[in-house]
Amino acid sequence: MILIGIGANLPGNDGAAPRETCRAAAAALDTLPGLRLRALSRWWASAPIPPMPDAPWYVNGVARLAGNMDPAALLAALHAIEADHHRGRPYPNAPRTLDLDLLDYDGTISDDPALTLPHPRLTARAFVLLPLAEVAPGWHHPVTGEGLDALIAALPPQEIVPLTD
């Protein structure tokens, strides 16, 4: 099971709303060689973490993919999709047109700075864990073995609401 976090809080270069950019990114994931989109959470709106005055809220979701692609090649493909949507990286945690995070790749554990798995901050983020629970309710953290119920219960308070279509 491959889990990808999807998020955006700025309009796309074409003026598309963040949710539309996230939907387009999910569709692009389904075109990656050797992979297929098997589940997509609903979209969630969440306040930026860390808090940023005047920064718009994010739209977030999680995609579950199946198939086989080298994890490093997948990360490069995610960066290419971000670049297609004009993702900038002016400073850490900057608002963005698109953010794609490789959260987990079949339970792989890697401390390589170029590809850390599972994603090092996923357990502290409601905007990851709540949508992840929708697409992979039986998921357990590959390092700690903790299940989603325990991880969600341990979250610090965060502003997040599910979106309706």
pLDDT per position as a tens digit, 90-99: 667 778 899 9
Residue 155 Cα to chain centre, angstroms: 17
Its CATH class, for the domain covering 2-162, is alpha beta
Q: What is the pLDDT of residue 91?
A: 66
Angle formed at CA 54 by CA 49 and CA 55, multiple of 5 degrees: 45
Model-level pTM? 0.95
Q: What is the pLDDT of residues 18-37, one digit of tens each?
A: 999 999 999 999 999 999 99
- 139 neighbors 149 (Cβ within 8 angstroms): no
- The answer to whether the peptide bond before residue 48 is cis (omega within 30 degrees of 0) is no
Tokens of 125: 């983020």
Mean pLDDT, rounded, for 153-157: 95
